[in-house]
């Protein structure tokens, strides 16, 4: 049976299953609710009153993406390319958003900025996150440093973890097993195991949640030419406790651990190697909110510790600590004028060790007594929502950094909405500045660091429009232009001596994002997006000029759901170090298209969901990174139980 026969046969089976299920029950009418977004203002505002095009991935949508990692889910968003999401499970991830890099993306978890000082770019590693613990995701693209501080230059990814149920006791179990193989492997051995369990509930004023997750994936080599598989083993645990003292005051405390071990190979010689990367993260924090007439005061505080160990020919150890506190006051003067006044404080430190050439024991490279910095940022944001369609979102932030002094950023984001008989049309524009503080590694690493580094600066201009047809479609188009200066680069100073320096060159990235969300019938929906990105030649590695995502979903009835998704990535340039010539070389990676299929069905009064997905149905051969493996056709099946 050839590939196309398998593909259409599978669709026929899915359609038959839907048809049978359709005969068993009647489809309920779904009430359309106004979509609410929060990331662009820290207020719950209707999407139509926002001057940004925000991607919101709800819990219902996440349930229809079971079997995918958080990186894979976010990778289907307009303007985003997460390189490594389709490779070996332990592959390092690179975030390319609007032509930017990892250090220009800020990740929030439950509203708290998460930074990792053990990383060269200070970025959060999405591999540490378990998809089963996530309630929803909001993605705000564009410069947002005025509201969120350093790193919020190309995007803010706001991840909300699951909360306790209102019932006294709820037990959730999920188990997935599947294959994990490359395009030239047809054994279909079960090599991917993902399991999670959680208990949660509310007892009067007290709420609780405890969850645990585990993933073990094997069977695929990290490098394409490898003959030995490289395993990935991850554990996640999370505890949340909450107490509502009154209608005005509530307090939540949480603790979590995330750990993974990832085998990896020799990336210089592209040969098998018994290398191992180990990462352990521990977080504790509190979140409180006091509500008063027309306003509220929120305090978020978290302590984060990350330990990284690399076992290879160049063994290293990293230990990083960070404390983040954010207190802000939200006040509604009326239904038209919303304000936020706040102060954010951070303290970060890093310690590292390596084995010197010819040595046998670890020696300290970076001392935490020197490699530490503090950031204190007062900020303000205002939102005006008029009766005649004009909406304005504006912000201001003064960053005070212990190493490079003060830095002011600001944003102005007007939009105008015109109500029509069939919906609305909205025009939007924004001008915003942002900054990326140098990481502790870039500042203090004894061989490569540079204490004189200045922050990178970004300026982003956006112009766009959004058309909404009630209960039928929402279509948006946005043009962006982002300029960078003081770019921090790793530069050869001569005689193979490298150092991080601010380059004199300014860089520009621009493009167009098109997003369409269409309800074809009550049960059949289409979501699609396309991105054209133009980046200066010096920064265009691994960034596709054109990227398209599309998903066609069909809700057969209350019990059965199926979807077909498509992704196209244009050809890209990549670079690798030639171990023979000792020079860096550029290579072109061909374009590719991927098709995935998903189906789920609920039984036992909706308490059990069984699901299956087939990824890369056509088993297309492609490369995300030169010389590294990517996944071919793979199948996952699983179930979710809620009691």
Position of tokens 């043009």? Answer: 479
- Residue 207 tokens read as 């709420």
**pLDDT at residue 359 in the model:** 85
* Domain segments of the chain as ranges: 3-642
> Of 224, 218, 303, 302, which Cα lies nearest the Cα of 261?
218
In sequence order, what are the beta bridge partners of 529?
A: 515, 549
CATH 2.40.170.20 is the classification of domain 3-642: yes
Q: Which of 105, 206, 199 is nearest to 152 (CA)?
A: 105
Query: In angstroms, how far apart are the furthest CA atoms of the chain?
Result: 77
> In this predicted structure, what is the pLDDT of residue 34?
67
Q: How far apart, in whole angstroms, are the C-alpha atoms of residue 218 and residue 194?
A: 12
CB contact set of 415 (below 8 Å; sequence gap of 6+): 50, 51, 390, 391, 392, 393, 426, 427, 428, 429
By percentage, how much of the chain surpasses pLDDT 90?
82
**Cα–Cα distance for residue pair 71/84, rounded to 1 Å:** 9
Helices H, strands E: what count in the chain? 5, 36
Are 384 and 15 spatial neighbours (Cβ–Cβ below 8 Å)? no
Q: What gap in Å lies between CA 237 and CA 546, rounded to an integer?
A: 38
Of 27-36, 208-217, 434-443, the least confident = 27-36
Residue given tokens 């693209």 in the structure block: 141
- Whether residue 319 is predicted with pLDDT greater than 70 in this model: the reply is yes
Closest CA to 98 of 76, 81, 75, 115: 81
Q: What is the mean pLDDT of residues 11-26?
A: 41
Question: Comparing 86-100, 170-184, 408-422, 492-506, which segment has the lowest mean pLDDT?
Answer: 492-506
Q: Give the 3-state secondary structure of residue 133.
A: helix
CA–CA distances in Å: residue 455 to residues 92, 155, 403, 467: 25, 17, 10, 38
How distant, in Å, are the alpha carbons of 268, 275, 579 from that of 356?
20, 18, 22
pLDDT band (50, 70, 90) for residue 15: very low
Mean pLDDT of 540-566: 96
Across residues 195-207, what is the average pLDDT? 97
Percent of the chain past pLDDT 70, that is, above it, reads 95
Q: Are 559 and 601 in contact (CB under 8 A)?
A: yes
Least confident interval from 31-40, 92-101, 529-538, 585-594: 31-40
pLDDT at residue 626, rounded to an integer: 94
Q: Which two tokens stand for residue 391?
A: 């909406």
**Residue 407, both tokens:** 């830095």
Residue 418 has pLDDT above 60, yes or no: yes
Q: What is the CA radius of gyration of the chain?
A: 24
Residue 24 pLDDT exceeds 70: no
Task: Reduce the DSSP state of residue 561 to 3 states and report it.
Answer: strand
CA 98 to chain centre: 14
Bridge partner list, 179: 190
| pLDDT band at residue 285 using 50, 70 and 90 as cut-offs | very high
Which residues, 6+ apart, have CB-to-CB distance to 527 below 8 Å?
516, 517, 518, 550, 551, 553
pLDDT at 562 over 80: yes
Instruction: Name which of 94-98, 113-117, 248-252 the model is least confident about.
Output: 113-117
């Amino acid at each position: 049976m050839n590939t196309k026969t398998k593909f259409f046969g599978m669709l026929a089976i899915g359609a038959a299953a839907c048809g049978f299920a359709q005969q068993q029950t009647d489809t309920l009418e779904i009430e359309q609710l106004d979509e609410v977004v929060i990331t662009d203002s820290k207020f719950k505002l209707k999407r139509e009153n926002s001057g940004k095009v925000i991607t919101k991935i709800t819990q219902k949508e996440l349930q229809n993406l079971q079997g995918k990692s958080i990186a894979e889910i976010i990778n289907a968003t307009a303007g985003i390319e997460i390189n490594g999401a389709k490779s070996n499970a332990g592959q390092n991830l690179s975030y390319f958003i609007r032509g930017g890099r990892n250090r220009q993306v800020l990740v929030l978890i439950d509203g708290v900025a998460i930074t990792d000082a053990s990383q060269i770019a200070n970025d959060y590693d999405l591999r540490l996150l378990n998809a089963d613990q996530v309630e929803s995701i909001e993605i705000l693209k564009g410069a947002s440093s005025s509201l969120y501080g350093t790193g919020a230059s190309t995007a803010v990814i706001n991840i909300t973890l699951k909360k306790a149920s209102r019932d006294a006791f709820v037990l959730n179990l999920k188990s997935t097993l599947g294959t994990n193989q490359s395009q030239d492997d047809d054994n279909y051995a079960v090599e991917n195991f993902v399991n999670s369990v959680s208990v949660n509930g509310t007892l009067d004023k007290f709420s609780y949640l405890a969850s645990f997750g585990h993933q073990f994936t094997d069977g695929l080599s990290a490098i394409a030419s490898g003959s030995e598989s490289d395993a990935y083993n991850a554990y996640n645990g999370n505890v949340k406790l909450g107490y509502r003292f009154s209608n005005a005051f509530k307090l939540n405390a949480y603790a979590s651990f995330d750990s993974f071990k990832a085998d990896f190979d020799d990336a210089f010689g592209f040969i098998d190697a018994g290398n191992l990367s180990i990462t352990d993260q521990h977080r504790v924090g509190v979140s409180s909110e006091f509500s008063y007439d027309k306003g509220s005061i929120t305090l978020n505080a978290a302590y984060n510790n990350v330990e990284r160990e690399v076992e290879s020919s160049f063994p290293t150890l990293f230990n990083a600590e960070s404390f983040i506190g954010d207190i802000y006051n939200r006040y509604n003067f009326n239904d038209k004028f919303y304000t936020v006044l706040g102060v954010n404080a951070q303290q970060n430190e890093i310690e590292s060790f390596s084995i010197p050439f010819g040595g046998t024991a670890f020696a300290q490279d970076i001392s935490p007594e020197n490699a530490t910095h503090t950031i204190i940022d007062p900020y303000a944001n205002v939102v005006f929502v008029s009766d005649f369609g004009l909406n304005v979102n504006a912000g201001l932030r003064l960053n005070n950094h212990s190493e490079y002094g003060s830095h002011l950023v600001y944003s102005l984001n007007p939009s105008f909405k015109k109500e029509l008989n069939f919906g609305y049309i909205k025009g939007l524009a924004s001008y915003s500045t942002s900054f990326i503080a140098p990481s502790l590694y870039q500042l203090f690493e004894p061989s490569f660091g540079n204490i004189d580094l200045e922050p990178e600066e970004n300026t982003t201009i956006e112009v766009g429009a959004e058309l909404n047809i009630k209960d039928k479609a929402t279509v948006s188009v946005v043009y962006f232009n982002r300029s960078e200066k003081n770019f921090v680069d790793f530069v050869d100073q001569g005689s193979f001596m490298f150092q991080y320096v601010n380059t004199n060159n300014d860089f520009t990235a621009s493009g167009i994002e098109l997003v369409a969300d269409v309800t074809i019938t009550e049960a059949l929906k289409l979501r699609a997006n396309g991105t054209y990105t133009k980046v200066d030649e010096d920064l265009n590695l691994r960034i596709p000029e054109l990227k398209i995502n599309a998903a066609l979903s069909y809700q057969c009835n209350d019990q059965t759901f199926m979807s077909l998704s498509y992704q196209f990535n244009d050809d890209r340039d990549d670079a690798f170090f030639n171990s023979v010539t000792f020079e860096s070389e550029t290579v072109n990676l061909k374009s590719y298209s991927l098709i995935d299929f998903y189906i789920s069905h609920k039984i036992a009064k909706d308490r059990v969901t069984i699901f299956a997905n087939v990824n890369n149905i056509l088993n297309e051969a492609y490369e995300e990174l030169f010389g590294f493996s990517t996944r071919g056709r793979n199948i996952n099946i699983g179930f979710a139980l809620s009691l």
